Amino acid sequence: MKNLPFFRLILSVFLISTISVSAAEPVETFPETPQNETSGEPETTKKAAKSDDNKIVVKGSRKKKTSSDGTAAQNSVNAKEISEKQSITTGDAVKEMPGVYVNGDGRTGQSQFLFVRGFRSADVLVLIDGVEMRNPLSPNGAADLSMSPENIAKIELLKGPQPVLYGSGALAGVLDIRTKKGKGTPKFTASASTAVLDMSNSRYIPDTANASANISGSKKRFYYSGGGSFFYTKGISMADSYKDVKENLYTKTPENDSVIKGSVYFRGGVDINSDNTWEVILHGNIGKANIDDGPGLGMDDPNRFLRNESLLFKTGTESNLFNKIWNLKFDISLLLSSLRDNDPADKGKMAGDLKSRYSSLTFALNWKNSVVPVDWYELVTGLDFGTEWGTADYEDYSAGRYFNMDFVPNPDINFDAYLFNIFKPVDKLELNIGGRLQTNYYQLSLLDKNTDEALPSETKKNIEPTFSIGAAYETPIEMGFKARFARGAKTPTLFQRFSRYANLYQELKPETAYGFDGAIQQYFVERKILLEAGYFYEQKHNHIDLDKSGIYSNRYRIENHGLEVSLYTKPFWGLSLRSSYTWIFKMQEYKVVEYKGQKYKAKTPTLRRPQHSFNAILNYNYEKKLNISLEVDYVGTRKDEVYNYPKTPYIVTVDDFVILNFAISYKVHNYVTIFAKIENMLDNDDYAYSVEYGTAGITPWIGLKLNI
């Protein structure tokens, strides 16, 4: 019996070596961030964790059921950390994570997207309570992270392809956002704050407001959490100047555009008995942004606006069967979203009159099973079904001509089946392998290249096998190793195939991606300090993006190599530190060009992706009353493209920048906390997320929080 763990190790390695790689998926056991905050989800190990509050806990002990890829490169941020640095948006909350660069359409309140290890936001699957969220009219279909983080319990980022447990869309990672779950006696929380969005631009009257309210609790078998948030600003402008790119273009000061948005949410459920739970989740969002029509010479557009709405409904059950050996989850969700872009012609002009709208309805059904027949093995299997309906209409008057482009195609349908194996043959060792079969049915409608006549529509079937395989081990000297390899795939979306950006003459091929992660971790001072260093490589084929003519096409390949180093500490005398550095030393994008009948691979600059980035947050908490947070962000130079300039669009190199943010809060009473924050204390003018948009200078916030 003494050789039993060794026998299990040999058996696990043998099983993995005999399973086909085409049906495999890796698992990564990167540790959680050093905090041990509740995520709002039930935690079976919560009582045991309390005694180790000042230790960094590695995810996945031998007997604990994980139902997740413990070998994946993971980073997380919880509600406590979001509150400490007083994040205004979800994008602000995640930008501290290693390898993450948040790119926005301008100032606070505008759209925010993220790049993970140099891959764009559309390659990252963004989930809110398990449901995919994306912006239907974003050119890349990326999710907007400018939403309020007040209702968020935890955000977890899994980097690299995550094809088996998450499916299509997770080509560069998964951003898993989980909302708070009510518990205990009824609790009411509310906060309100105001700011001057750019005091360094001779603005002294507050032009920005942010507010939220939430009520939560539980009674006997019922639990609930609900509330809403509101954001308003009149301090943004796409037309502000930018150093060496857009200086002295305007004869008058550009107007201050506005953004107004609100959201409501509810999460409630009932524990039918100790083994069965039923839950309902609702989310609703609405927003409107009045924006300029780009930075053309004296060409402010005072009457263009974007309006978006989304409504999410999800319900599901979770059951534990056979003395908790089998965990079964079943849920259905409906997501309705739309975005309108209206730009009426200015007085005395016909050109520029634009009206567009895109609406989509997505239905998804998920069935997931986790079976733990023995304490060293877990099997995760499931089926996913989804379908999306999309409708759009475009009316565009350009140079006195009228264009009308509408589409109501057949819905896309996908059906996936997956299997994931988790082996834990000895203590603190995890091996896993899994595979998913993605089956997609979608409509294809093209024009004949020679006659421009419509070809017969056809229904395409695309079957993509994806996999992952990984391993993680922590040695007795508290040093950890992990490695993971995976392949993911994504079918072209409805919007890419039918919108006004669609290529009507050529079929878009599905995107595929391969990724590898490897890292070493070392703990110090009784696990209160964690140092991590890792290498990553990812290659994406048939990358879909807009070309110079504004049409979707398949690029040849994107390839990234890089290093990540991070340091986490638990509180020492109230002080804690989180820091990370990412160096993407090879970042290349290729596209296929044709010259004299021959095809060539030509390099093209990768836009808005810095090679070097650094982030550090030093936090001090005194007796749980006073909290001070200092955040430093460095982003290196990166390429960007200037549009609507008096000349043809061209590539520029955007300067590197350092941002310094300071936040402080003080609990005046058990029920009342006052807080203040100063963003961009150095008044850095070079940090425009995109050269087409203005950047805020010194921005002070002040606010009040109630906790009853």
Which residue range forms the structural domain that includes residue 606?
4-707
Q: Which of 498, 553, 387 is nearest to 137 (CA)?
A: 498
CATH of the domain at 399: 2.40.170.20
HSE-up (13 A, CA, CB side) for residue 684: 20
405-458 tens-digit pLDDT = 777 888 999 999 999 999 999 999 999 999 999 999 998 888 888 888 888 888
Q: Which of 229, 191, 227, 232 is nearest to 208 (CA)?
A: 232
Q: How many other C-beta atoms can be found within 10 angstroms of the C-beta atom of residue 188?
A: 14
β-strands 173-179, 124-128: how paired?
Answer: parallel
Q: Which tokens is 280 given?
A: 């309902």
Our measurement of the distance from residue 362's CA atom to the centroid of its chain's CA atoms, rounded to an integer in Å, reads 19
Q: Which of 307, 305, 390, 391 is nearest to 354 (CA)?
A: 305
532-582 tens-digit pLDDT = 999 999 999 998 887 777 788 887 788 899 999 999 998 888 999 999 999
Q: How many other C-beta atoms can be found within 10 angstroms of the C-beta atom of residue 38?
A: 17
Render 242-299 in DSSP notation, one character per residue.
-TTTS-S--SSPPP-EEEEEEEEEEEEEEEEETTEEEEEEEEEEEEEEEE-S-S-TT-
Asked if 67 and 370 touch (Cβ cutoff 8 Å), the reply is yes
Q: Is the dihedral of CA 29, 35, 36, 39 positive or negative?
A: negative
pLDDT at 238: 56
Length of the chain, in residues: 708
Largest separation between any pair of C-alpha atoms in the chain: 89
pLDDT bucket at 93, cuts 50 / 70 / 90: confident
Asked if 29 and 13 touch (Cβ cutoff 8 Å), the reply is no
Q: Three-state DSSP class for 428?
A: coil
Q: Which residues contact 452 (CB under 8 A, 6 or more apart)?
A: none
Q: Give CA–CA dist 497/544, Å, rounded.
A: 11
Q: Which residues contact 690 (CB under 8 A, 6 or more apart)?
A: 103, 104, 105, 106, 608, 640
Q: Which of 435, 336, 332, 432 is nearest to 384 (CA)?
A: 332
How distant, in Å, are the alpha carbons of 344, 359, 371, 410, 416 from that of 327?
Answer: 55, 36, 6, 36, 20
Q: Say whether pTM exceeds 0.75.
A: yes
Q: Give CA–CA dist 500/517, Å, rounded.
A: 38
646-695 tens-digit pLDDT = 456 677 788 888 889 999 999 998 899 999 999 889 887 666 655 555 56
pLDDT bucket at 526, cuts 50 / 70 / 90: confident
pLDDT at 13: 35
Q: What are phi and psi of 94, to 5 degrees?
A: -100, -10
Q: Which of 314, 359, 306 is nearest to 337 (CA)?
A: 359
Q: Which of 618, 614, 656 is nearest to 633 (CA)?
A: 614
Q: How many other C-beta atoms can be found within 10 angstroms of the C-beta atom of residue 453?
A: 7
Mean pLDDT of 24-33: 32
Number of domains comprising the chain: 1
Mean pLDDT of 53-70: 50
